[in-house]
Amino acid sequence: MQQLKPEQTPERGMWSSRFGFLMAAVGSAVGLGNLWKFPYLAGENGGGAFVLVYVGLVVILGFTLMLAELSIGRHTNSDAYGAYNKLKKGWGFIGGFGILAGFLILSYYSVVGGWVLKYVVASITGVGADKAGYFTNFITSSVEPVLYHLLFMGITAFIVIRGVSGGIEKAVKIVMPALFIMLMVIVLRSVTLEGASEGLKYYLTPNFSEITLKVFVAALGQVFFSLSLGMGCMVTYGSYLSKQEDLEKDALLIPSLDSLVAIMAGFAILPAVFAFGFAPGEGPGLMFITLPAVFESMPLGTIFSLIFFILVFFAAISSSISLMEVTVAFGIDRLKWSRKVSVLVFTTVMFVIGIGASLSMGAWSDFLIPWIDGNSYGIFDFLDVVTSYYLLPLGGLLSALFIGFVWGVPNAVKEIKTGGNFRTEKLWSVLIKYIVPILVFVILLSTTGLLDKIIG
Ligand code: TRP
């Protein structure tokens, strides 16, 4: 047991081991973003072209911002809002943005988590011959998906109530390694399917003419989403870390493992898409439609399907608990609520927003919300678009600027160095102060369509 500092009250908690923290951070990062979103985004955005841009952005942004958030968190031992406010009075709003983003993300994330639970059940009952039809029927119905959403939200709350080391850490230590092994098995099956080579080619050969601004925008949002960056999630997780932790190593390891899983998920899904004659641009249904087809083609498919969707569910839960922890830490630290009250209040509100997201797939599909990019979105898409493409990159941009020009790079460097030597100090200093803000700013501008007008 580590000595608790005054700020580390039992109500806050702390990681009990380095492995536990790493699995929790990787568990936060690896989730539906990798297994569900990444393959379909790659499928919609030119396959290899998307993968290339994605990996490039992870290398530049992933490491830099991961290290930034972890150092802010550990230095302040606070929730996302309190962390920024402690470093400079009046700057808590950066964390506040993040808390709002996490709140909105979990509201629809939990709906997709519910779909996964449904597919755990469907692995046994079977999805029939028309895989696409089965999926569409399910998500557009009004009652069943909401009940699964409630179940997913409830399980998340149940774990978060148990606290940092007792609940979160215990669960992820088993789940993450198991997921990895299972994914490997499915990749092997998928790439050896007859007709898989078309998919492999699509996935692995970047067609440079397809690298458009749109691909950059999609990849940027996905980098933030998949790495759990831009909303203070890693600030919060970093706040439960000891001073001996080597943050630089963590900031290299977490994005690497996360990208590995995302790329493996692409290998699991895209070859199968081509082998079974589906279209790669299928969108959010991709995983739910193609994987059942893959499993059907395997001996013992039912069992594989069952195990796989259970693991996807665990991956989703280890992410959803991190999303919830951000809001809950805010409730505990700022509002002085107990962990229990915090969890119950936030869960209820997120559940209600999620009902809207779920219904927007069917009954409420005509209800559209206009957004500054000139489009109107259903509730589900609205929550996704506003958070992934606007709030998270904006949060990342602000946190980089905050370190560069408010808290100061030397202070951050000092914090990072308490846990070990910092080999990439010079590089990181330039990245966080100049490169990352400029890169994110330019892509953000183009997201709203402003850049088109500026460049002419
Ligand atoms: N990274 C998770 C995923 O890929 C989702 C997630 C968890 C997240 N915590 C986050 C996204 C914080 C953005 C910010 O599924």
For residue 251, report the distance from its CA to the centre of ligand 1, in Å: 16
Task: Choose the weakest-confidence range: 49-53, 181-185, 348-352, 357-361.
Answer: 181-185
Ligand 1 binding pocket includes 105 (Cβ within 6 Å):
yes
CB atoms near residue 108 (< 10 Å): 24
- Nearest 5°: the CA angle 390, 115, 299 is 125
Given a contact cutoff of 8 angstroms between Cβ atoms, the answer to whether 176 and 30 are in contact is yes
How far is 27 from 17, CA to CA, in rounded Å?
15
For residue 206, report the distance from its CA to the centre of ligand 1, in Å: 26
**Which pLDDT band, with edges at 50, 70 and 90, does 7 fall under?**
very low
**Which pLDDT band, with edges at 50, 70 and 90, does 384 fall under?**
very high
Give the rounded distance of the alpha carbon of 82 from its chain centre: 22
Residue 6 predicted with pLDDT over 60: no
Position of tokens 């922890």? 325
Instruction: Report how far apart, in Å, the C-alpha atoms of 170 and of each of 167, 195, 281, 289, 331 are.
Output: 6, 41, 38, 32, 23
Mean pLDDT of the chain: 91
Query: At residue 40, what are phi and psi to the nearest 5 degrees?
Result: -75, -30
Ligand 1 binding pocket includes 233 (Cβ within 6 Å):
yes
Encoded tokens for 59: 């290398």
Residue 452 predicted with pLDDT over 80: no
Amino acid sitting at position 216: F
The residue whose C-alpha atom lies closest to atom 8 belonging to ligand 1 is 228
For the residues 356-383, what does the mean pLDDT come to? 94
Quick check: helix, strand or coil at residue 212?
Answer: coil
For residue 246, report the distance from its CA to the centre of ligand 1, in Å: 22
Per-residue pLDDT tens over the stretch 237-249: 898 888 888 999 9
Ligand 1 binding pocket includes 29 (Cβ within 6 Å):
yes
Given a contact cutoff of 8 angstroms between Cβ atoms, the answer to whether 400 and 84 are in contact is no
Ligand 1 binding pocket includes 122 (Cβ within 6 Å):
no
- Residue predicted with more confidence, 313 or 6: 313
Provide the pLDDT for residue 217.
92
Percentage of residues in the chain having pLDDT higher than 70 = 95
For residue 234, report the distance from its CA to the centre of ligand 1, in Å: 10
Given a contact cutoff of 8 angstroms between Cβ atoms, the answer to whether 160 and 170 are in contact is no
Where would I find the H helices in 45-140? Answer: 48-57, 63-76, 80-87, 93-125, 131-140
Ligand 1 binding pocket includes 34 (Cβ within 6 Å):
yes
Instruction: Report how far apart, in Å, the C-alpha atoms of 108 and of each of 8, 123, 146, 307, 388 are.
Output: 31, 23, 11, 24, 12
Provide the pLDDT for residue 4.
42
Position of tokens 């559940």? 351
Amino acid sitting at position 9: T
Provide the pLDDT for residue 455.
63
Task: Choose the weakest-confidence range: 13-22, 78-87, 269-278, 294-303.
Answer: 13-22
Given a contact cutoff of 8 angstroms between Cβ atoms, the answer to whether 437 and 398 are in contact is no
Residue 9 predicted with pLDDT over 70: no
For residue 259, report the distance from its CA to the centre of ligand 1, in Å: 13
For the residues 288-292, what does the mean pLDDT come to? 91
Per-residue pLDDT tens over the stretch 74-111: 999 888 899 999 999 999 999 998 899 999 999 999 99
Provide the pLDDT for residue 446.
85
For residue 322, report the distance from its CA to the centre of ligand 1, in Å: 8
Provide the pLDDT for residue 372.
87
Partners of 376 in the β-ladder: 370
The best mutation among 116, 228, 392 to test binding of ligand 1, ranked by most ligand atoms within 8 Å of the C-beta, falls on 228
Ligand 1 binding pocket includes 323 (Cβ within 6 Å):
yes
* Residue 143 DSSP class: S
Residue 431 predicted with pLDDT over 70: yes
For the residues 265-293, what does the mean pLDDT come to? 90
Residue 349 predicted with pLDDT over 70: yes
For residue 198, report the distance from its CA to the centre of ligand 1, in Å: 31
Contacts of 59 (CB under 8 A, 6+ apart): none
Residue 451 predicted with pLDDT over 50: yes
Query: At residue 156, what are phi and psi to the nearest 5 degrees?
Result: -55, -50
> Residue 203's closest CA among 98, 55, 303?
55
Ligand 1 binding pocket includes 361 (Cβ within 6 Å):
no
Percentage of residues in the chain having pLDDT higher than 90 = 68
Ligand 1 binding pocket includes 31 (Cβ within 6 Å):
yes
Instruction: Report how far apart, in Å, the C-alpha atoms of 264 and of each of 36, 143, 169, 357 are.
Output: 12, 34, 24, 29
How far is 292 from 8, CA to CA, in rounded Å?
46
Provide the pLDDT for residue 162.
84
Residue 1 predicted with pLDDT over 80: no
Contacts of 240 (CB under 8 A, 6+ apart): 8, 12, 13, 14, 15, 21, 164
Ligand 1 binding pocket includes 388 (Cβ within 6 Å):
no
Residue 232 predicted with pLDDT over 60: yes
Ligand 1 binding pocket includes 391 (Cβ within 6 Å):
no
Provide the pLDDT for residue 170.
73
For residue 275, report the distance from its CA to the centre of ligand 1, in Å: 30
For residue 350, report the distance from its CA to the centre of ligand 1, in Å: 16
How far is 117 from 295, CA to CA, in rounded Å?
17
Residue 454 predicted with pLDDT over 90: no
How far is 301 from 305, CA to CA, in rounded Å?
6
Encoded tokens for 38: 């990444």
Ligand 1 binding pocket includes 429 (Cβ within 6 Å):
no
* Residue 3 DSSP class: P
Provide the pLDDT for residue 166.
67
**Which pLDDT band, with edges at 50, 70 and 90, does 449 fall under?**
confident
Give 441: exposed, middle or buried? Use CB within 10 Å, 0-12, 13-18, 19+. middle
Q: Which is the closest atom of ligand 1 to the Cα of 227?
A: 1
408, 413, 418, 420 alpha-carbon torsion, rounded to 10°: 170
Ligand 1 binding pocket includes 68 (Cβ within 6 Å):
no
How far is 152 from 214, CA to CA, in rounded Å?
33
Per-residue pLDDT tens over the stretch 38-65: 999 999 999 999 999 999 999 999 999 9
- Residue predicted with more confidence, 1 or 88: 88
